[in-house]
């Protein structure tokens, strides 16, 4: 009831307490409430759902990657980086393709770099390299190198011959860091 009420001071406290609830299905119940909250409260709810980290929580967080509000989108991007794995790569890659703000792009690079899942995630990231724009290709090469992926070296070597000088430069720099 607190989430539906008008007490702006109590809502953040209630949202912060959500991860401590031991009710099965709590994240699904609270995910439904997210659309009724202010953008700041939505960002707090995303953090609470991130702490729970179950499938319904991750699904709601993934859905918020397309939120119209930048604060909400950034919270979702950061939460996906902490709770996601290889299955999160396509959604984060699509968000990166549409990102206009440098702050969002940086958050996406950080989230993609921090995803769990080891080789499966590295393969999913590598698959995005051939699908994306030249400017995003450079970002994906950086992400793969930052993950210290075993897949990075052959891909980076191939990209040193890329006709786009910026992409080739990123590939050379990344190889230098991995060497």
What pLDDT sits at residue 134?
82
What pLDDT sits at residue 2?
67
Q: How many CA atoms within 13 Å lie on the side-chain side of 84?
A: 31
106: buried, middle or exposed (CB in 10 Å: 19+, 13-18, 0-12)? Answer: middle
Say how far residue 87 (Cα) sits from the centre of its chain: 11
Torsion of CA 99, 45, 120, 101, to 10 degrees: 10
Q: Rounded to whole angstroms, what are the CA distances from 13 to 9, 56, 134, 166, 168?
A: 7, 22, 44, 47, 49
Residue 37 reports pLDDT greater than 80: yes
Structure confidence by residue, pLDDT tens digits, 60-110: 999 999 999 999 999 999 999 999 999 999 999 999 999 989 999 999 999
CA distance 6 to 60: 24
pLDDT band at 178 (very low <50, low <70, confident <90, very high): confident
Once rounded to an integer, what is the mean pLDDT over residues 25-50? 92
pLDDT band at 47 (very low <50, low <70, confident <90, very high): very high
Which two tokens mark 145? Answer: 């190198």
DSSP for 105-148 reads HHHHHHHHHH-S-HHHHHHHHHHHHTTS-HHHHHHHHHHHHHTT
CA distance 135 to 19: 38
pLDDT band at 25 (very low <50, low <70, confident <90, very high): confident
Q: Rounded to whole angstroms, what are the CA distances from 22 to 27, 29, 51?
A: 10, 13, 13
Pairwise pLDDT comparison (153 vs 25), residue with the higher score: 153
Name 111's Cβ contacts closer than 8 Å, sequence gap at least 6: 77, 78, 80, 81, 82, 84, 92
> pTM of the entire structure?
0.88
What pLDDT sits at residue 171?
95
Residue with tokens 């070597």: 157
Structure confidence by residue, pLDDT tens digits, 114-144: 999 999 999 999 999 989 988 899 999 999 9
């Amino acid at each position: 009831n607190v989430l539906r009420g008008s007490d702006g001071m109590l809502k953040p406290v209630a949202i912060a307490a959500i991860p401590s609830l031991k009710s099965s299905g709590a994240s699904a119940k609270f995910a439904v409430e997210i659309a009724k909250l202010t953008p700041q409260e939505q960002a707090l709810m995303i953090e609470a759902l991130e702490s729970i980290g179950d499938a319904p929580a991750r699904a709601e967080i993934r859905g918020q990657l397309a939120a119209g509000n930048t604060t909400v989108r950034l919270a979702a991007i950061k939460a996906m980086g902490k709770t996601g794995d290889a299955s999160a790569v396509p959604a984060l890659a699509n968000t990166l393709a549409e990102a206009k703000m440098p702050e969002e792009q940086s958050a996406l690079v950080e989230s993609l770099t921090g995803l769990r899942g080891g080789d499966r995630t590295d393969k999913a990231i590598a698959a995005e390299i051939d699908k994306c724009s030249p400017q995003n290709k450079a970002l994906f090469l950086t992400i793969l190198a930052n993950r210290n992926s075993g897949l990075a070296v052959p891909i980076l070597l191939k990209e040193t011959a890329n006709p786009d000088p910026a992409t080739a430069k990123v590939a050379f720099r990344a190889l230098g860091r991995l060497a």
